[in-house]
Amino acid sequence: MMKEELGNGKEFGYAHSSVDDIDQETLAKLYEQSFQTFQEGEVVKGRVVHVAEEYVVVDIGYKSEGIIPIEEFKDSDGNVTVKVGDEIEVLLEFHDDDEGVVYLSKEKAEKIKVWDEIVKVFEEDGVIRGKVVAKVKGGLSVDIGIPAFLPGSQVDLRPIRDLDSLVGKEMDFKILKCNRRRRNVVLSRRAILEKEREAKRAETLAKLEEGRVVDGVVKNITDYGVFIDLGGVDGLLHITDMSWGRVGHPSEMFSIGDPIKVMVLHFDRENERVSLGLKQMYPDPWTNAAEKYPEGSKVKGKVVSIADYGAFVELEKGVEGLIHVSEMSWMEKIKHPSKILSVGDEVEAVVLSIDVQRRRISLGLKQLTPNPWDVVAEKYPVGTVIEGKVKNITDFGIFIGIDEGIDGLVHISDISWTKRIRHPSEMFQKGQTVRAKVLHIDKEEKRFSLGIKQLEPDPWETISERYPVGSVVSGIVSNITDFGLFVEIEEGIEGLVHVSEIDDAEKTNPLQSYQLSQRVEAKVINVSPQERKIGLSIKKLVEEREKEEIKKFKTSTEDDTPKLGDLVQIDKTEK
């Protein structure tokens, strides 16, 4: 603005009409002020005397008023924030005496004042407040009147991953570096926090004692526990001290930043180590577990874990019972508990035993229903004849279905009294209906023994009566061995003709005279029902018959007496 544009001040509304309107005292002050000297770059106080469209006119006591561009007084919405009469500090940039204009700046004055304050705070190791305005490379930009740099390492006591979350927040800072010439200021929030922590630490250490309940904040979470900030001092809350119940991982119960009340379990003042407990603040549920869960009682709970050997059921927080895989079913052989139960299942069970000292409860699932083996034992006592279908055939016998889930075994040795059975499949097929007699029931071993041959009397029990020693039997050669002949005298009953009891002494090998299926006669020389053996002799039978023939020969008439050659011929024919 040129001098002629400003005129004599009447355009701004502050020129007086004449000297007579001013009293002598005011005139003296004005006269004295007109001789004040100002240095360019000096910050002075002034009063706003006029607000125009482009300028704000400020009286600083100089012979000429100063002007400031109106833009320095507008806010972010473009509104003018100054009015006539406001006192402000301004920087005298330069004065043009020829034009009679003094150029001022409010913004520059404020910056100078800010720098003065920053330098003062830095020198006095004070604290300055600022607002985080943006995330920049390596840290944050903070407005403390001028832009300042806050390194990422100085933001907090521990690294913060999300620096953007701090933008817009006002905080207190320490000034680490201050260079006015380079307009460079480096801040630290960590320095303040460390000082606060040390103060809290001393206070915390003074009041820490075992058994005391203290407040803290979750600082860090690990697999084995959480670290709690007690106020400058960290304590460890181990996973085993978090709950009387099961804790899979500490993160299931806590998040970083959670406030928490804990009990001091142990405090090593020398090494400043603190062990904390949470569950110790509540009663131990095992204290009265024996009264709550007596043996034989029915309980309800939730499956919380499954192992190869069983399932753990939570009856209440801190009290778990184990259902062993062997206690899940009366009948089925459970290969893995997951075939029956899943984590999260609500189940009912029976308390089998409780050991409070070892904090163990044994539970049973199958005990909710009667043991089918007890029912079977009552329903089918030994000697009962049952009827069922062949469910399975093995090398050692056949399994017959009795009741649902229970099969009876007929061992191969109990199929027949007399038949030689190589494999049960020779006589039976799956699905075939058969009758059998109950021989034995072992509830503990879950074995149900049946017999088919027991449906009929044992033919060996009367063998001595039917084949007494000295009697003559007739049978078929069923087997030829090195030591003699086996002769089947009735179905399944065989007698042995030892090689020494064969009448063929004149031959080198008397067995050569016989063939399988050849019918022979022999004399019973011994019977052993217990060993299921019959001894036969062809030789004794031949000798007896020869003696009888000789006797007959002697007592008969001469005409009727057969010649020796005839007897030999008869003997050979009988053989």
- Mean pLDDT, range 530-546, rounded to an integer: 89
For residue 371, is pLDDT > 70? yes
**Every domain of the chain and the residues it spans:** 3-110, 125-193, 208-281, 292-367, 372-455, 460-555
CATH class assigned to 292-367:
mainly beta
Query: Both tokens of residue 567?
Result: 């007897």
Domain at 125-193, CATH homologous superfamily: Nucleic acid-binding proteins (2.40.50.140)
Say which CATH topology domain 460-555 has. OB fold (Dihydrolipoamide Acetyltransferase, E2P) (2.40.50)
Per-residue model confidence as pLDDT tens digits over 373-425: 888 888 888 999 999 999 999 999 999 988 777 889 999 989 988 787 889 99
Largest Cα span, the chain? 210
Query: Both tokens of residue 370?
Result: 């009667």
Strand 273-277 vs strand 298-307: parallel, antiparallel, or unpaired? unpaired
Contact 275, 235 (CB under 8 A): yes
Q: What are phi and psi of 162, to 5 degrees?
A: -100, 85
Provide the pLDDT confidence category of residue 349 given band limits of 50, 70 and 90.
very high
- The alpha carbon dihedral of 35, 24, 87, 58 has a sign of negative
Cα–Cα dist 283/231, whole Å: 27
Least confident range of 56-65, 272-281, 439-448, 514-523:
56-65
Whole-model pTM? 0.46
Q: Which residue has the tokens 């189940």?
A: 347
State the CATH architecture for 372-455.
Beta Barrel (2.40)
Cα–Cα dist 480/476, whole Å: 11
- Mean pLDDT, range 516-538, rounded to an integer: 91
Question: Helix (H, G, I), strand (E, B), or coil: what is residue 369?
Answer: coil
Per-residue model confidence as pLDDT tens digits over 482-514: 888 999 998 878 999 998 888 755 456 777 788
Q: Could you tell me where the beta strands, DSSP code E, fall in 72-160?
A: 87-96, 101-105, 127-136, 139-143, 147-151
353 forms beta bridges with: 362
The whole-number pLDDT of residue 424 equals 92
The CATH number of the structural domain formed by 208-281 is 2.40.50.140
Task: Please determine whether the domains at 208-281 and 372-455 fall in the same fold group of CATH.
Answer: yes
Pick 403 or 20 by higher pLDDT. Answer: 403
Per-residue model confidence as pLDDT tens digits over 29-69: 554 554 455 666 677 888 888 888 888 888 887 777 788 88
Cα–Cα dist 433/182, whole Å: 107
Provide the pLDDT confidence category of residue 3 given band limits of 50, 70 and 90.
very low
First and final C-alpha spacing in the chain: 163
Per-residue model confidence as pLDDT tens digits over 241-251: 998 888 889 99
- The alpha carbon dihedral of 189, 194, 195, 196 has a sign of positive
Nearest Cα residue to 216 out of 208, 228, 232: 228
- The alpha carbon dihedral of 390, 392, 398, 401 has a sign of negative
Per-residue model confidence as pLDDT tens digits over 411-439: 998 998 878 788 999 899 999 999 999 99
Query: Both tokens of residue 331?
Result: 């009948």
- Mean pLDDT, range 134-146, rounded to an integer: 89
Cα–Cα dist 431/392, whole Å: 9
For residue 235, is pLDDT > 50? yes
Q: Which CATH number fits domain 3-110: 2.40.50.140, 3.30.2310.20, 2.60.40.60, 1.10.3720.10?
A: 2.40.50.140
Q: Compute the mean pLDDT over every residue in the chain, rounded to the nearest whole number.
A: 83
Cα–Cα dist 75/89, whole Å: 18
The whole-number pLDDT of residue 362 equals 95
CB proximity list for 556: less than 8 A, separation 6 or greater: none
Q: What are phi and psi of 119, to 5 degrees?
A: -60, -40
For residue 330, is pLDDT > 90? no
